[in-house]
């Protein structure tokens, strides 16, 4: 059995940014769809055992989104705006409604590695080093890695074409 690759998650020392990198056996177009199609996104985002309900999803430059993640009897709502939807790039805000003053500016780029492989580069810029460090202590890597493992399965079975 092959284990799923883990994302590399790094904190920048000079600015309050978290950088995440992960390779996928998928094209940039497939990954773009996985991040912009609400039905597909709801199927893979978050830790194992999380159910995601999309409340609003307008994946276009200037659009917005909101979803609620439910796990273990708890619900957490997230929202943001799509600032740019390009061919291989998404720029968006990300806010956990439990901490509405904490807005992250996220940039995702999909680097075509050839041979049906793509490297995802994501960076999340937050307002302070304290906020960045709180994100890192939150266990975010579990949600990132579990979610991407679910996405790998959707890519492998042809769901995320």
The pLDDT tens digits along the chain (161 residues) read: 455 689 999 999 999 999 999 999 999 999 999 999 999 999 999 999 999 999 999 999 999 999 999 999 999 999 999 999 999 999 999 999 998 888 999 999 999 999 999 999 999 999 999 999 999 998 899 999 999 999 999 999 988 77
- CA atoms in the 13 A half-sphere facing the CB of 112: 10
- Hey, CA dihedral for 29, 35, 36, 39, is it positive or negative? positive
**CATH code for the domain defined by 8-153:** 3.30.530.20
DSSP string computed for 86-142: -SSEEEEEEEETTSTT-EEEEEEEEEEEETTEEEEEEEEE-S-HHHHHHHHHTTHHH
Q: Is 63 helix (H, G, I), strand (E, B) or coil?
A: coil
- The whole-model pTM stands at 0.92
């Amino acid at each position: 059995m092959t284990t799923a690759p883990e994302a590399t998650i790094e904190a920048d020392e000079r600015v309050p940014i978290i950088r995440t990198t992960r390779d996928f056996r998928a094209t940039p177009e497939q990954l773009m769809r996985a991040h912009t199609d609400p039905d597909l996104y709801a199927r893979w985002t978050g830790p194992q055992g999380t159910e995601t309900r999309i409340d609003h999803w307008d994946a276009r430059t200037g659009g917005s989104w909101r979803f609620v993640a439910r796990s273990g009897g708890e619900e957490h709502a997230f929202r943001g705006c799509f600032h740019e939807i390009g061919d291989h790039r998404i720029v968006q805000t990300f806010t956990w409604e439990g901490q509405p003053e904490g807005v992250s500016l996220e940039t995702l780029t999909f680097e075509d590695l050839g041979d049906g492989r793509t490297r995802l580069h994501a960076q999340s810029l937050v307002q302070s080093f304290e906020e960045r460090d709180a994100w890192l202590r939150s266990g975010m890597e579990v949600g990132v890695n579990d979610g991407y493992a679910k996405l790998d399965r959707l890519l492998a079975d042809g769901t995320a074409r």
